[in-house]
Structure 1
């Protein structure tokens, strides 16, 4: 799917397609109010709209991303509510049947040239890649409807177990539902030598495993049945 993408807006990649495929397999989109956090070009939000969502809200902190998502929706005749803001701030007090998120998750500290190449805000997840992930895991549960579902994609290097623990502590039923090896892109290639020196990857390794975590809010009736 060709999408308009201004400079600095995250391009749809393997993590985008893996998240869209996981949402389709989960069969949770039809008739749902869907929220796409960190929408970028709007690729995931558009997939949700095509998947039968009753309403799709897309959020990004980047003005360029908001413009791109709105234009890409208009060009395809799809209705998106696109808001600019920091994570869930624009939808304070709202809940959704499905939350989809492909946040920045690359551990910070890539060479400055890589920042110029890709637009750091679109991919830089801070120390350990968890700066945005931890905030999503903490805030998403309160924005889920009683039977709502969160689908979150990130790299094996960003701590899937930490995401699972945080979501379970919040009372959600969480598990990894999809995995896929992905060749390193330019940013990860710029970091590969340093990762080798620190023993984070094998010598010559130039791929990572992407994972999608599904977390479901457990309805009161289900909790009662399990107790």
Structure 2
């Protein structure tokens, strides 16, 4: 299976650290981010999931649920979670981990979703999962996806930034320019009709006409 933007994300029944869940029921009407990591008790993965845990309140503010996955058992995940809670945490806090992690010990989901890294293997010689990220909208469709090799840790600030862009463009007929962050001006694509521009951007738009072509296709607005 190769999921593309706009495809419906499968409604998997999942074995996780919070028990068995049906993905759609668990997501409800929220956004979801499913992300895989190569293996528990590995250095880069520990930095990633501890970072994701710290950012969990920021994702919650965006009406978004996180769920992790690797080719490890629930029991393995549960033991590793204690390391995640202690990593870079002066208080060595424990308590409840802020998101579930999926047991994909049989590699079924990793293979179905195309998340296998062909260059990385575990001690048994079995392939590991790559660092995939799927952004799932409230309509259960794939809104974006990222795929990193096992050797490269992800930037969760960028994942938040992409989520902000996806959520804003779901509400308004806009696109976000390079390096855009919340609060900065957005772009109004050329295919947005003038009457829709007036409806969605009553404050008006800025049109750049100083480019050599003279075409007014770059329209900026504050939202």
TM-score scaled to structure 2, two decimals? 0.33
TM-score scaled to structure 1, two decimals? 0.33
For the pair shown, which has the larger CA radius of gyration, 1 or 2? 2
* Between structures 1 and 2, the one with greater helix share: 1
